[in-house]
Amino acid sequence: MTFNNGYGDDYAAGTPWAPQYVEYQGYLTAPTENPTRDGYEFRGWSTEPDGTAYWDFTQNQVLGSFTLYAVWEQLNYNVIYHVDNCNNKDQFSNAIVPWGTELAEPETVPEASGWVFTGWYLDKGCTVPAEFPITVVDNVHLYPAFAEAVTVTFYPYGQDIAEGMWTITVAKGSTIERPEEPVNEPFAFNGWYMQSSGESDDYSYLWDFETDTVESDIILAGAWGDALLQGNFFNTTRTSTCVRIQVQNTDGTWRPASGITDLTLNAHLLGSDVPLLGNGVIMREILPGSAEWQSGWDTSYAYYTASWTTPLSGQGIFTLTAKNYTFNVTP
């Protein structure tokens, strides 16, 4: 008679479950110890592999050669989520799982008003972090840890421009991940800035995403360098002028400086800073295909025009201004 481990192999000679040779109608000797198997509890010996015919060493007689199979019961353990104080506690369910189960981190994040979830721990004091996946070999208790929540509001195009604004919530005292750099051609992005004083428009502190930590609700505003314009004036009279201009992209190439709505023209006499056109005159763009567009104009430039009532006289020079632009325009 041989003993089988119940999951594939016979036990060899020299083990407590070595084969036994017994006379007809004799009795087997019960092994001196029970076999062991990780994740299972030994329940006895059976003449059937499925464990349906238990063998009684004191009652059953040997009537021929056969095999006794170890009968095992798989061990199960509890997985308990300690989330009673969470807003979304109903989204977590405790479970009973077999020994050896690979327990993945829950996809659902625990929520608590005014707090940010920082991770799962294996103890109530949240000193032992849970390292997923967890191989279950005993009951598992999972405790969520939280930190005080603070908000970071990003204004990518400047503190006064709501377009593209977004907000994140992070743990107080933590660093934040650098967001993807915004694009606003032709302007070069110069970084994220925070207020450095109590003045509402004083965004002069450059945020360091590697070392700076968020200790309260803050606003980070994108800063942009001026774009460079080049071009020249033409068709100038005492009461009107035109200008053609290009703007430099961040890669150094040039394109038409179209769409500048605050392009302001002024003039002053040589040697004088007194503006001759008061607060200036807003120039109007002449678009390709319009009635004012002239054949032969270069479409790699944008064209603008302006006129005024009082004729200019004397030797003077025109100047152009527009927010976020630096000009290099020849008379």
* Average pLDDT value over all residues in the chain: 94
Question: pLDDT tens digit string along 216-230?
Answer: 999 999 999 899 999
d(C-alpha 231, C-alpha 307), whole Å: 19
Q: Write the burial class of residue 191 (CB in 10 Å: 0-12 exposed, 13-18 middle, 19+ buried).
A: middle
- The answer for residues whose C-beta is within 8 angstroms of residue 295's C-beta and 6 or more apart is none
* pLDDT tens column, 200-259: 667 889 999 999 999 999 999 999 989 999 999 999 999 999 999 999 988 889 999 999
Rounded to whole angstroms, the Cα distance separating 97 from 77 reads: 5
Average confidence (pLDDT) over 77-86: 97
Taking only the tens place, the pLDDT of each residue in 111-122 is 999 999 999 999
Distance from the Cα of residue 5 to its chain's centroid: 50
pLDDT of 187 reads: 87
What's the CA gap between 125 and 116, in Å, rounded? 17
Provide the 10 A C-beta neighbour count for residue 181.
10
Which amino acid type is present at position 67?
T
- Is the confidence at residue 37, as pLDDT, over 80? yes
For 170-196, what is each residue's pLDDT tens digit? 999 999 999 999 988 888 899 999 987
* pLDDT value at residue 200: 61
**How far is CA 45 from each of CA 48, 119, 238, rounded to the nearest angstrom?**
9, 46, 114
More confident residue, 107 or 249: 107
Q: Give the span between the Cα atoms of 179 and 193, in whole angstroms.
A: 13
User: pLDDT tens digits, residue range 125-183?
Assistant: 999 999 999 999 999 999 999 999 999 999 999 888 899 999 999 999 999 999 999 98
β 134-135/102-103 pair status: antiparallel
Q: How far is CA 326 from CA 103, 124, 169, 299, 329, in A?
A: 60, 61, 37, 21, 10
Backbone φ and ψ for 150, nearest 5 degrees, come out as -130, 160
Write down the pLDDT at residue 215.
Answer: 95
For the chain, state the CA radius of gyration.
Answer: 41
* pLDDT for the residue 329: 72
- Residue 4 is predicted with a pLDDT of 93
Residues near 259 by beta carbon (within 8 Å), at least 6 away in sequence? 285, 302
- For residue 232, count other CB atoms closer than 10 A to its CB: 13
Distances (CA, A) of 39 to 16, 50, 77, 138: 21, 18, 10, 10
Question: β-strands 140-155, 218-224: how paired?
Answer: parallel
Structure-block tokens of residue 311: 């004729």
